[in-house]
Amino acid sequence: MLYSKVAKPYFFRMDAEKAHHLVIDGLHTASRVPGVPAFMRAMYGVPEAKELEMGVFGLHFAHPIGLAAGLDKNAKAVDMFANIGFSFAEVGTVTPKGQAGNDLPRLFRLPSDEALVNRMGFNNDGAAAMAERLAKDTNRRIPIAVNIGKNKTTPNELAHEDYRACLQQLYTYGDFFVVNISSPNTPDLRALQHGDELRLLLSTVMEEMGKQAGKSGAARKPVLVKIAPDMTDEQLGYTVDTIVASGVNGIIATNTTISRDGLQHANSRETGGLSGKPLRERSTAVVREVYRLTGGKMPIIGSGGIFTASDAYDKIRAGASLVEIYTGLIYKGPELLRELADGLKAYLRRDGFKSIVEAIGADHRS
């Protein structure tokens, strides 16, 4: 209630990107004020529940709900995302060199559609700055995924070297990694989802992951690939085949969409990637198809349009092991985390499942 009655009206009167920075900087500052983290855990934290716990990629997750990439581009507020109830957080997208991103304005709300359009363009401080921040996070309470991409000025034929450079600087500090080849806001990036370019990129990533693991003397950390929702069924099939053959650990389905079907708000005319409720059904369909194509053997993180426990549960039954939220958090606030967790427990009871793990891919067994 505090968010919907007080904070949201205040933020929604501001420019969307200014509000975004105010929230991230505020969370960063608040995490260092004595007593505030504990207060946030008491107000918003998600109570432990055995039926929601799971192990994926060799990591432990208290429940399946995480933060999608794009909100905390520079890993400024990872401590506080744990305090408000997330079971994991994805930071980035980060590029080897810091870059300003696309021209302002570049983030737009569509309240009547409960959606956002962004054309940020991988604005971030760069891999070295993120490494420095994550190195200070010595009491990490949740797994952190580092989402990596290429600089705007790097041509596609050299893109694999940008991803390698990110891993060289950040491997030590991420718990798992996400290869972003699906943002619509970096020119030609989505071309990396197909054919020889994808094979070269993923072979380079896996080679570097192996090198970094060798240096640490520990097992290789997990790596996932984030895909777009706008591929044809044939394109998706080829892409998934290439991803599986590369040896990566999982897929995130999906990134934002360039589709504008059924939108009402004037900001739908803005170019960029659309997130929020209009993406819900398409992203769930992609989760379902990826699960089918992989025979349920490759873990999937479902992302796109999650506003209710039903939305999250639909993705889990379609084949997602974990789910991520972003736009839903903007519209509904941190209260959403507990609402989703409580709702998932209710759905498990309704369907006779003792654990969330039993619900993963249940639609394919019906």
Tokens of 28: 């960063």
Residues forming beta bridges with residue 65, ordered by sequence position: 323
What is the spatial distance between Cα 130 and Cα 75, in angstroms, rounded to a whole number? 6
What Cα–Cα distance (Å) separates residue 343 from each residue in 102, 239, 336? Answer: 38, 33, 10
Starting at the edge strand found earlier in the chain, the sheet holding 273-276 runs: 107-110, 115-118, 273-276
Rg (CA), the chain: 19
Tokens of 182: 């699906």
How is the chain split among helix, strand and coil, in percent rounded to 5?
Answer: 50, 15, 35
**Active-site annotation holds for 183:** yes
> φ and ψ at 323, to 5 degrees?
-135, 160
Strands 250-253 and 223-227, sheet pairing: parallel
Helices then strands, counting H and E runs in the chain, come out as 14, 15
Contact call for residues 92 and 148 (beta carbons, < 8 A): yes
Report whether the peptide linkage leading into residue 93 is cis, meaning its omega lies within 30 degrees of zero: yes
- Other C-beta atoms closer than 10 Å to the C-beta of 346 total 12
What is the spatial distance between Cα 233 and Cα 254, in angstroms, rounded to a whole number? 14
Catalytic residue of the set 87, 182, 183, 275: 183
CA atoms within 13 A on the CB side of 273: 26
Contact call for residues 162 and 154 (beta carbons, < 8 A): yes
Contact call for residues 67 and 326 (beta carbons, < 8 A): yes
**Active-site residue numbers?**
183
